[in-house]
Amino acid sequence: MAATLTLDDPGTAGQRIVHLAGALTVASIGDVAGDLAALRPDGDLTIDLQRVERIDTTGAWLIHKLLRDWRAAGRTAQLDHVSDDARRLIEQVAANDKPARRRPPHGNRAVERLALIGAGVIAVLHTFGEFLAFLGQTIIVLAQTLGERRPLRFNAVVHQMEVVGANALGIITLLLFLVGIVVAQQGAVQLEQFGAEVFTVNLIGRSVVRELGILLVAIMVAGRSGSAFAAQIGSMKLNEEIDAMRSIGMSPIEVLVLPRVLAMIIMMTLLAFHGALMAIIGGGLFCWTSLGIPPASFVQRIQDVTPISDLVIGMVKAPVFGFIIAVTGCFQGMQVTGNAESVGQRTTQAVVQSIFLVIVLDAFFAVFFTALGYV
């Protein structure tokens, strides 16, 4: 039933009575809302709600607004024949009728910036502490597994080796092959100015085997597998599968993290060697087609100018990079909380932090091995 409004003549005593009937709801109050807004406080007011069948917050707000405006003008305003439920709703609306600021007040901008910086530093330190704790747990479980105090989930390790290594061979092969061509082409252009194009072979061998090939493979694996680890474990955390594992006595580190870490260590070493080989093949193809260096001469010169120490250094760095990529991806997956948006955020952080740590470790290894005399 639509809302209706009836007005009594104020008379000589100046008493105005408003009779409301029907449903005072958002769907039906439109017919009387304009009439209520048009009333002016020209006397005392009484609102009769005896024939009101239903009322919601919209109707309660209009009644409260009428009472408020009337009282603000110094007139008496009251309700008559109002039910307990309607009175309670009108009182709740009145209690929440408070002025609100459109914008919060601005404080000192310098202090706010310092507070943001401080909060960021605290968050970074807190995350770093949690990462160290997670790293320690992973190392302990790894040591216990290698010491045969914990069972190794061999099938899970093999599956992760396939996902991390075998499925990545195509993109690694193509990327490093093209990188070898680019390094050879750019090196030849620069060395041609001095008539030293033959030293392009030296540039390819030493840069790819020791630094560039290993680093690019690590970055590719971090973007491909590190993000996958974070997304997979994060989804399991979101679905409470990890909590279920703990409740039945299974360690998530042993079941989820360790197979991925072992698979990454093994396959990162193999992928790094394969990537360096593909880069050398790409550089050799460019030297053969553009510089006229036959493949046999190219291979012989690569062997002469690239010391075995460069290959050893590259193969030492690869498993360390694989370990840090896997641990970072799994750690970020374990930090997922709340909703699906957190999975995306943690996946992004896993990739960024993995690449950052790989570059930092590569710089450390460069300084370390140079200090040992391997230049």
**Gap between the Cα atoms of 32 and 2, Å rounded:** 9
pLDDT band at 363 (very low <50, low <70, confident <90, very high): very high
pLDDT at 292: 86
Per-residue model confidence as pLDDT tens digits over 300-335: 988 888 888 888 998 999 999 999 999 999 999 998
* Residue ranges of domains in the chain, CATH in brackets: 4-95 (3.30.750.24), 153-371 (no CATH)
Q: How far apart are CA 190 and CA 289, in angstroms?
A: 18
* 223 HSE (CA, 13 A, CB side): 7
Q: Which residue type, as a one-letter code, is found at position 235? A: S
Tokens 């109050």, residue?
A: 29
9 pLDDT more than 70: no
What tens digit of pLDDT does each residue of 27-66 get? 877 777 777 777 887 778 888 888 888 888 888 888 888 8
Share of the chain above pLDDT 70, in %: 95
CA–CA distances in Å: residue 365 to residues 10, 166, 246, 266: 94, 27, 38, 19
Q: Which has more confidence, 61 or 149?
A: 61
- Here the tokens at position 370 are 């140079």
Q: How many residues does the chain have?
A: 375
Strands (E), the chain: 4-7, 15-24, 44-55, 77-80
Q: How confident is the model at residue 12 (pLDDT cuts 50, 70, 90)?
A: very low
Quick check: helix, strand or coil at residue 202? helix
